[in-house]
Amino acid sequence: MDWSRFDAAWERCVVVDVETTGLDPATDRIIECAVLVVDRGEVRRTHSALVNPGRPLPDVITDITGMVDADLADAPRVDAALPRILDLIGDLPLLGHNVAFDIAFLEAEAHRAGVDLASRGRPGRALRDRAVCTAAAARTTRRTPGRRRPPPDPRSHRGPAAARTQRGLRHRVGSWATAVRARGPLARPAPAARAPSRL
């Protein structure tokens, strides 16, 4: 893990989280997306949108998320929801737990909607090129003696979808901010700490 990338991203970044109908970006669809714009550990802007996938939700997704088809019936389709999401992301670094999953779905949905991602950021700065994965950071800290471990993804699947996603992301950002402040300069590793349990 390149900790300089993590520290640089933390100055100003976007935390993104998507819920989907499944695991395959080629065939599955986004049903919810939340974006938090973070500046020095503080959440400055938030946006959460439900998305109508144009198909029934699989039972397993309802079991995981608590969402049912009626929750998404009046939600916009992805081509209407994407512009706001991508405008918030801009050309900022994307920070997330297993963020490659979220990016793969955003890229696939943009492709299907005919949205040119290159026109919404600096040339050569694709979403995946500016991603910083906290899962990779967590794996690194588990293998590095003396490195404080960033807390795991506390994703919660209880309550109304939009509120749940923003609540989970806000908790995650707060936990990361605490971990970063406690870790201090990279040259002065902090003692290992027990991570909070999942919600």
Rounded CA separation 61/22 (Å): 7
> Looking at residues 106-128, what average pLDDT do you find?
77
pLDDT score of 47 more than 70: yes
User: How does the average pLDDT of the chain come out, rounded?
Assistant: 75
What's the average model confidence in pLDDT over 58-65? 94
Q: How confident is the model at residue 91 (pLDDT cuts 50, 70, 90)?
A: confident
pLDDT, mean of residues 34-44: 87
Closest residue by Cα to residue 1 from 140, 95, 117: 140
CA distances from 46 to 52, 88, 163, 186 (A): 20, 9, 11, 30
pTM for the model stands at 0.72
pLDDT (mean) for 2-22: 80
Q: Is the pLDDT of residue 57 over 70?
A: yes
Which residues, including other chains, have CB under 8 Å from residue 23's CB and lie 6 or more apart?
101
Q: Label the pairing between strands 94-96 and 131-133.
A: parallel
- pLDDT band, residue 43 (cuts 50/70/90): confident
Structure-model confidence comparison of residues 37 and 197, the more confident one: 37
- Residue 35, CB-side half-sphere exposure with 13 Å CA sphere: 23
> For position 126, what pLDDT does the model report?
83
In this predicted model, what pLDDT tens digit does every residue of 143-196 receive, in sequence order?
544 444 444 443 444 344 445 555 566 666 656 555 544 544 333 333 344 444
Q: Which residues of 34-59 are buried (b: 16+ CB within 10 A; e: fewer)?
A: bbbbbeebebeeebbbbbbbeeebee
